[in-house]
Structure 1
Amino acid sequence: MFLDKMEKFLDNLTPMDLMRSEKMTFVQLIIPAESAHRAISYLGELGLLQFRDLNADKSPFQRTFVNQVKRCAEMSRKLRFFKDQINKAGIMSSSHTALQPEIDLEDLEIQLAEHEHELIEMNSNSDKLRQSYNELLEFKIVLQKACGFLVSSHGRAIPDERELQENVYSNDFVETTSLLEQEIRPGPSNPSGLRFISGIICKSKLLRFERMLFRATRGNMLFNQAPADDQIMDPVSAEMIEKTVFVVFFSGEQARTKILKICEAFGANCYPVPEDISKQRQITREVSSRLTDLEATLDAGLRHRNKALASVGEHLSDWMNMVRREKAVYDTLNMLNFDVTKKCLVGEGWCPIFAKTQIQEALQRATFDSSSQVGIICHPMDAVESPPTYFRTNSFTSPYQEIVDAYGVARYQEANPAVYTTIIFPFLFAVMFGDWGHGICLLLGALILIARESKLSTQKLGSFMEMLFGGRYVLLLMSLFSIYCGLIYNEFFSVPFHIFGESAYRCRDNTCRDAHTIGLVKVRDPYPFGVDPKWRGSRSELAFLNSMKMKMSILLGVVHMNLGIILSYFNARFFGNSLDIRYQFVPQMIFLNSLFGYLSLLIVVKWCTGSQADLYHVMIYMFLSPTDNLGDNELFWGQRPLQIVLLLLALIAAPWMLFPKPFILKKIHTERFQGRSYGMLNTSEMDLEEPDSARQHHHEEFNFSELGSLRTFYCFL
């Protein structure tokens, strides 16, 4: 299956298409007004034309199609509102959207307005019903709890004045929530003039509330409390809140006014509780009956609201895509010039040369579908600025192209590094990963993503899963290379195995007691493939494995850097830039291979000869004492004079690649600028019509930082 997909991917891509960016051409479009929308929509689906903004000097509010963009933005807001409501309701949107006939933007706008008005009205009614339900529920709880403080053998139990000095405090407190405006009539009074106020408050604010009452009445009150049996939903946050019922006994109208103000400040809801037991029972029955009716009404409203949200959710994805597409079309139309007299739009942009036929077909289809009497004109033009870079990619090569573009986009017609990245990136990952057990796990995950490609491509994935799915072929190659390198390292979940026969070493004695301290004895030919499993746990394990992996990393790094410099040579040769070849490619190759290339040679020679030379010592004293005798560190005849020659070449190459090129370019830039200044009198009409941005580009000051040492070292690395 994978090979079939690869063959399909590479059918339309030649080696030259992969190596360099597509050749671009600058075109001008003259589009009649009646077919402009369809033309831009079809070109957007094609994705092979990059428009240039011809109205860059205008603000977004001065452009032709600003009203349509505003309408699309408003519809996007409504769709986001629907999406938030669906998520809050916990409704799972179906991955398969329902079939719906094609609708235009105006009809969709009307539908969205109707759905929004209906949903807002349902939310408002639901909030009012929820508020009434909460008030009745609190009233019922207050009736049940407060009556216990009032009932006595005579039907009422108003405390005497001595009890007003006793108070009880609790410990929890937080900030207030909403306020409830309730008209409270004075409670009945006894001959001594005592009254009471009953209500309910959040449990977290009870301590501060009680302290404030005590201080406001100077202790002339009695505070009774009881926890509510049921939690009450907050209509704003939809969270369940614990509340406490309280009854405050006091004396005097002035104390009543203070207590009511404190209740209002703390968000405590006060409810009148009659002292007569029969009235209490009657009110409790009425409240319970109304609560039952409200519960039924709330459930019916919730079902109706969820049904409306579900019907919206069936088409939400299609609507969002449609609005997003329409907004992109009008944003593109705002980049075109509108000719009022000829009733047409004029646009300019870049497209690949191979796509001209497809663009012409799309424009003809737009003319036919819009029933326009005038066709769309598309003709090439000359451009001053450099064309944009465009690489043809597919689902296999696009993740590698994104990795390369994250570091920098190649200039127009430069060699594409992503071609080499398709192999180098997964292989270098495997060199670091190097475990065929983990590689098999990674391979299974990649195969699952590839097998379910058609299904997952139509679903909306999270950011992490979308990244994994987009790089499924990268994971596939990474896993295959990891298995290969893991076999070389002989590591299966960090455990060595005798996969390719017995080890070439054995212990010095039969007990293997001192195998990890004294060492092993070689008894047969080397292990046929990969690292011998006996190295694991031996006294030479770290020295051998670290040395092998470090030296292998140096060799791979040097090869990688040489590849980058060679690519710069082919770029310079393609553009006919002999300056880059003489003052960039040649000194960089000399500098790199005189030092690191020589180190790679020493590593290979040491591997082949089994020498015990210290390469650290060789490289350090190559700079500190190049004329000294190498002694035991000499790997081959003539090594010392070769080191002196390479050191001199490196010293010459460093200033060679840093200094000549910037000054030569500075001289060329100055000569061209002076020549243009003296030739202004002979400027043609076409030159005078050159855009201001292009003329400013020509007259930019020369910047050494772009072409000096920083850019050179960047190209070198």
Structure 2
Amino acid sequence: MFLNKYFEKFSKMDSEEAIFRSAPMTLVQFYVTIEIARDVVYNLGTIGKVHFRDLNSRLTPFQRTFVDELRKIDSIDTQLKFLKDVMLKYDCTPNDETQSTKDSRLPSSSEMDDLVSRIASVYDRIKYLDDSYDQLNSERYKYLENRYVLNEVDNFHSLSSGRGGNQDEGNFVIQGDSDTEDDVALLNQRNHSLEEAQEVSLEDAAGYNSICGTIESEKVGLLRNILWRASRGNLFFHSADITQEKLPDFSTNKMSLINKSVFIIFTHGDFLKSRIKKILQSLDGVLYENTEGGATSRNETLNYLNSRIEDITNVVLNTKNHLISELVIFQDSYASWLYTIERERMIYEVLNKFDFDSTRRCLVAEGWIPTETFGSIKSMLRKVIRSKSYHGSYHARVSEESIEIADQSNASIGDENYSLLTTEGGHGDDTVDNSDEEYDSLVAVVNELMTNRTPPTYHKTNKFTAAFQSIIDAYGIATYQEVNPGLPTVVTFPFMFAIMFGDLGHGFIVMLVALYLILNEVRFQAKKNKDEIFEMAFNGRYIILLMGIFSIYTGLLYNDIFSKSMTLFKSGWVWDFPKDYDPGSKGRMSISAKKVSGHTYPFGLDWAWHGAENNLLFTNSYKMKLSVLMGYIHMNYSLMFSLVNYRFFRSKVDIIGNFIPGFLFMQSIFGYLCITIIYKWSVDWVGTHKQPPGLLNMLINMFLAPGKVDEQLYPGQSFVQVVLVLIAVVCVPWLLLYKPMVLRRKNNTAVEQGYSNIHSQRNHSIQLHEEEEAIILENELRDDNNDDDAEHFKFPNDIEPMFHNSASHDDDDNFNFGDIVIHQVIHTIEFCLNCVSHTASYLRLWALSLAHSQLSTVLWEMTIKNAFGMQGTKGIIMTVVLFGMWFILTVCILVMMEGTSAMLHSLRLHWVEAMSKFFEGEGYAFTPFNFDSISL
């Protein structure tokens, strides 16, 4: 009883926290006129305490009320995304005004229209400038590319005609600007086809035509092979890379810059020429027709291209400067505009969850709220009504009508409390302007509904407890109002970690890392696009801090700092050296230690054990038994939470049928084992001159040979063990049969009384109260609307029924004795086997602690220990190098890798070994509507 009262004390903590048990939730219903629905949803999103239900779940997104508004927002969002891409394209980073943006008020409908017009105007202007810049830049690149082609053609003809260098013997040189220059160039090249060297005779040269252009450099080899096969070698192909700069690929709209090459092709015949052009087009080649003619014609074309390039370059620069100036002006407003549009989208998405009541011309919504926020939501609605009324008419007066069916402080299942807020014009004053009728009919109603639905789970956390709660939520969301494992996890998780990671030095490093993250949390929290691993560590900075602090504590207990011991206190052992002992002797001599009478080491492990040969044997036995004790305490602590849950939910059958036999079963076996461990530690076996008995064999023989004790631990041991075995044996059928039989008896009694099953009997009083309250609510609403024919509004598009009662005929409400028996059999087998396996699982505390200690020792001996004893310059260099190696390996292997391993094992001990004793985890998270999820 004392333990239960202690736990219940945490469930009644201050309203600012709800960590021991989820906060009480209330299902509410909103009736809001369409004129103020947007303002109401905005204010609810600002409060951030309403988990809306979708009352139109059967409708597609295109069948909902505000689909046109969302389409309009989508188009605006597309425009803003385009503008952001343009800013990134021209290196104009949007200003980060997150805080000031989130504090902005909700614009009115007319202001939203003005904002949409401004965004559209900016979009059109910047899009026009960007398209103009791209078009002009593309044209400039085309002229540049044309100039490269002309220069290459001119170089080709210059070299071929002998103007560019010495002539090969037998080359024909023709001076002048005749139209036969291409023919002479072809002959002077001693043309070779692609595969066979075939000289072109002067008589055939007159029939060749040149095709010039550019193509991607990677496609030159492919083009050469295709042309040779297509023309059967009847052509001359020349290519040269453009090395000065990259040019755009005009076949794509992205204007990506690539390496290009100039090609010059000579062939004859219109048919072959047209075929080659088609091949070039298929390979995204660009052809230029202005390269024909003599040198004079090419020079005139080149002068024209230079003039055009200069003019277009000036226009491109001016266009870019104008565009950048527009972007600089726009980037100051981008963050606020984007936030406003995204907020507007969220508001209309929530409004699409509302159902339209055509009889009252208002929107109806349902949602879960924390019970304590009901008053603040009513106050918010009152302010919205008053604000809209004052904006609508100076003559409007606000009246508030509050219909109280039951006092909210004493509300329970079946109580209903709603507040009706309206505006009326002047109490019969005929001077009110008719233009204010729109604001005279504003209505906002919030109802507190009675329901059997399971509310969402809402745990209030702060920045310290949020990380620990996320560990639990990663495994499963706690069932509504059950004990939350997140509270004890604050202590048990870092402590279990520290048992496996017990080293003062390593714990100090972990603590320093956590302190660095905590002291700079404001700067890191404002940083966007954090690395995934770093963000995980940053979010768990308080977990890391406690892990470091607890590791320092366990390091002091183990007397271990970087695998070395600390002589903090005087040892309780002294070495007993023989008289003929020679420290310099190379012979091996065994030296024993004796206990100092009347002296005990004050805290932790005596440092004298670190130098003993049986150190590993002693610490193994010590840590192994300690891990069993820690596991027993942790599991029993968790098992007590199941009693707290059963008492809270008033489940007497679970207390008698599950908790009591389960508790007795665990205590009779592993509770007894833990008592014997402590008793064995308390006995001075050296003083009694007896060999201490093995506890593992004792536990095994306790079941295999009841009543037989090979090595007696205490008097009367045989009788005690037989009684404990009998208790454990009795608990198994108790677990197996009690709950199914009791439920079956109660169900038969309910059937005899005329109910369909035990569930219908349980819900009968709730159903009656539900019907009474529904009639009262309907009468009040009918009187308020002066409509005798009004009916209670129902939600035709809501899949989930309004109330869960005996009329719902859900499968979960049917009593199935076979399912209950199967479930209880599974529970019994799991519990009995888990008592054994889970206790053994806590031995990982010993195993990882041993591994961590030994790995630290090995790392010390293989690195920095080798530098000790060296002198001079060599000793200094070796000390610095080996210390650096030791420190880096310590941080990387022992702190990061071993720390991650210990953290995962501690996580498993909580998820499986502890939480399986009481945690159901069948709830769903409370996800209130708020604007915190908007990211700029």
TM-score normalised over the length of structure 2: 0.64
1:251 aligns with 2:331: no
Determine which of 133, 138, 144 is the counterpart of 1:137: 144
Q: Distance in 2 between matches of 1:409 and 1:677?
A: 33
**2: CA distance between counterparts of 1:88 and 1:646?**
78
The CA distance in 2 between the partners of 1:563 and 1:607, in whole Å, is 23
Question: Measured at CA, do residues 652 and 317 of structure 1 come closer, stay the same or move farther in structure 2, by a change above 3 Å?
Answer: farther
Question: Matched residue of 2:114: which SS?
Answer: helix
Q: 547-556 or 241-250: which moved more? A: 547-556
String of CA shifts for 1:183-213, please: whole Å, max 9, x gaps. xxxxx99754123222222222222211111
- Contact kept, 8 Å, 2:455 with 2:480, in 1: the verdict is yes
Q: Distance in 2 between matches of 1:15 and 1:636?
A: 53
Aligned residue number for residue 457 of structure 2: 389
1:430 is aligned, of 495, 498, 513, to 498
Query: How many Å apart are 1:578 and its aligned residue?
Result: 0.8
Cα drift, residue 672 of structure 1 = 5.3
| Unpaired stretches in structure 2, ≥5 consecutive residues | 1-10, 163-173, 176-180, 197-201, 390-438, 686-690, 775-791, 793-800, 831-915, 920-936
**Residues 361-385 of structure 1: CA deviation (Å, up to 9, x unaligned):** 2111111122154553334332232
Partner of 2:484: 416
Provide the residue aligned with 1:580 in structure 2: 654
Counterpart Cα distance in 1 of 2:260 and 2:467: 56
Alignment counterpart, residue 686 of structure 1, candidates 771, 786, 798:
771
Shift in Å, 1:144: 2.9
Counterpart selection for 1:556 from 630, 637, 642 = 630
In the alignment, what sits opposite 1:219?
Answer: 233
Q: Secondary structure at the match of 1:385?
A: coil
> Quick one: which of 225, 231, 236 aligns to 2:246?
231
Q: Displacement of 1:676 after TM fit?
A: 4.0
Report deviation, 1:437.
3.5
Flag the 1:325–1:470 CA change in 2: closer, same or farther, 3 A. farther
> How far is the alpha carbon of 1:395 from its aligned partner?
2.4
2:709 touches 2:717 (CA, 8 Å); kept in 1? no
CA-to-partner distance for each residue in 1:596-633, whole Å, 9 max, x for gaps? 334433443444447765444444454545555434xx
Which position in structure 1 is the counterpart of 2:53? 52
Amino acid at match of 1:139: N
Within 5 Å, which residues of 2 pair with 1:644-663? 644-662=722-740
In structure 1, what is the equivalent of residue 893 of structure 2?
A: none
Equivalent-residue separation in structure 1 for 2:343 and 2:66 (angstroms): 15
Match of 2:380, SS state, is: helix
Matches within 5 A, 1:352-363: 352-363=370-381
Equivalent in 568, 577, 580 of residue 500 of structure 1: 568
Q: 1:199 maps to what in 2?
A: 213
Task: Give the CA deviation at 1:216.
Answer: 0.8
Quote the RMSD (CA, aligned, Å). 4.2
Secondary structure (helix, strand or coil) at the match of 1:383 reads coil
User: What is residue 710 of structure 2 aligned with on the other side?
Assistant: 630
Partner SS state of residue 808, structure 2? helix
Residue segments in structure 1 that go unaligned for 5+ positions in a row: 1-9, 170-187
Q: Tell whether the 8 Å contact from 1:158 to 1:194 is kept in structure 2 after alignment.
A: no
Q: CA deviation at 1:78?
A: 3.5
Q: CA deviation at 1:45?
A: 1.6
Tell me the residue number matched to 2:824: 708
**Correspondence 1:248-397 to 2 at 5 A:** 248-272=265-289, 273-274=291-292, 276-371=294-389, 372-373=439-440, 374=442, 376-397=444-465
Question: Does the 8 Å CA contact 1:401/1:418 hold for their aligned counterparts?
Answer: yes
**What residue is the counterpart of 2:899 in the other structure?**
none
Q: Distance in 2 between matches of 1:218 and 1:317?
A: 63
| Cα 1:519–1:569 shift into 2, 3 Å | farther
Contact 1:489–1:531 (Cα < 8 Å) also in 2:
yes
Q: Is the 8 A contact 1:98 1:315 kept in 2?
A: no
> Which residue identity does 2:55 align to in structure 1?
L
Q: Does 1:439 align with 2:507?
A: yes
SS for the counterpart of 1:630 is coil
Q: 1:478 aligned to 2:550?
A: no
Q: 1:158 pairs with 185, 199, 202, which one? A: 185
CA distance, structure 2, for counterparts of residue 18 and residue 708 of structure 1: 30
- Shift in Å, 1:669: 5.7
Q: What amino acid is the match of 1:141?
A: Y
Give the length in aligned residue pairs: 686
Describe the SS at the equivalent of 1:55.
coil
Q: TM-score, normalised by structure 1?
A: 0.82
Say which of 580, 583, 597 aligns to 1:510. 583
**Which secondary structure state, in structure 1, belongs to the residue aligned with residue 356 of structure 2?**
strand
Q: CA deviation at 1:711?
A: 5.8
Q: Which moved more, 1:351-360 or 1:700-709?
A: 700-709
Shift of 1:655: 4.2
- Structure 1 residue 537 displacement after superposition: 8.5
In 2, Cα distance between the equivalents of 1:310 and 1:672?
A: 76
Matches within 5 A, 1:62-77: 62-77=63-78
The CA deviation at 1:26 is 3.4
Instruction: Work out whether 1:28 is the aligned partner of 2:113.
Output: no
The share of aligned pairs that are identical, in percent, is 31
**Cα gap change, 1:199 to 1:82, in 2 (>3 Å):** same
Bigger shift: 248-257 or 459-468? 459-468
State the alpha-carbon separation in 1 of the partners of residues 155 and 443 from structure 2. 89
**Cα offset, 1:551, TM superposition:** 3.8
Structure label with greater radius of gyration: 2
Q: Show the counterpart of 1:7.
A: none
Query: Which is worse superposed, 468-477 or 422-431?
Result: 468-477
* More divergent stretch after superposition (198-207 vs 366-375): 366-375
| Residue-by-residue CA offset, 1:227-283 (whole Å, 9 max, x unaligned) | 221222446556542222222222332321222111111112223434533443443
After TM superposition, the structure 1 stretch with the greater mean CA deviation from structure 2, 517-526 or 390-399, is 517-526
Structure 2: how far apart are the matches of 1:189 and 1:297?
50
Report how far residue 458 of structure 1 moved: 5.0
SS of equivalent residue, structure 1 residue 19: coil
2:155 pairs, out of 132, 148, 158, with 148
Relative to 1, partners in 2 of residues 1:220 and 1:360: Cα closer, same or farther, differing over 3 Å? Answer: same
Q: Partner letter of residue 731 of structure 2?
A: A
> Is the 1:49–1:350 contact (alpha carbons within 8 Å) kept by the matching residues of 2?
yes
Q: Distance in 2 between matches of 1:392 and 1:649?
A: 42
The aligned amino acid for 1:566 is M
Maintained 8 Å contact 1:168/1:223: no
**Cα pair 1:150 1:275 within 8 Å, conserved:** no
For residues 538-578 of structure 1, the C-alpha deviation after alignment (integer angstroms, 9 at most, x for no partner) is 75565455554444333322222212210110111122211
Moved more, 35-44 or 118-127: 118-127
Q: Could you give the per-residue CA deviations for residues 506-526 of structure 1, whole angstroms, max 9, x where no partner exists?
A: 7987369899x9787568777
What letter matches 1:265 in structure 2? S
Residue 80 of structure 2 is matched in structure 1 by 79
Q: CA deviation at 1:585?
A: 0.9
Question: Is the contact between residue 65 and residue 334 of structure 1 (CA under 8 Å) also seen in structure 2?
Answer: yes
Distance 1:518 1:244 in 2: 86
